[in-house]
Every structure is written in structure tokens, then in C-alpha cells.
Amino acid sequence: DKHVREGEVIVIHVGKTCGGSVIDYMRRFAKLGEIHLRPVVPSDLDTAPLVIVVVRDPVDRVISAFNWHSPNGGRPMAISDAHPR
């Protein structure tokens, strides 16, 4: 997790929501602080001029997480891979 500095726009990066891509794009335009893989505490947000939370449909997020952790290295598994004959 990166340290949050005073005056930065804060992005709360919820896993498997495309937050990394959003952050990469937004860094072109603003100084960003990122909160990822830890709980948000109120003091993180005290000096932020703006807080952004990236969200995603929960079902899509679960499918994405499952595929990312799959033995196929993030590629969706074919039915034939899951149940070999």
C-alpha cells in the first residue's frame, strides 16, 4: 500500500474492479494516493480534496477473481480443462 500524502486525490482500490487501470490513467492528470489491500481509516481522508472509489458488479468481480486465481493463470477455464476425460 502506498503512503497517502496531504492534498492528494485518494483512490480506494477495491481488488478486481479495474482500479489499477483507472489509477494508471488518472496519474496523467493528478497526484494520487492509493489505498489498496488494507482498511480505510478516517484519517486517510482528512486532507484529500477528492476521494474516488472504483466499484464493479459483484458477480463480475467474483468471476474475475476466480479466473485470476485459476490454474490457467487468469485465463478463463474451458469446461474440458475443468473436467478432463
Dump pLDDT digits (tens) for 11-66. Answer: 999 988 888 999 999 999 988 999 998 999 998 888 899 999 999 888 988 888 88
Residues whose CB is less than 8 angstroms from the CB of residue 7 and which lie 6 or more positions away in sequence, other chains included: 31, 47, 48, 49
Q: What is the 8-class DSSP label of residue 51?
A: E
Q: Whole-model pTM?
A: 0.69
DSSP, collapsed to helix, strand or coil, labels residue 49 as coil
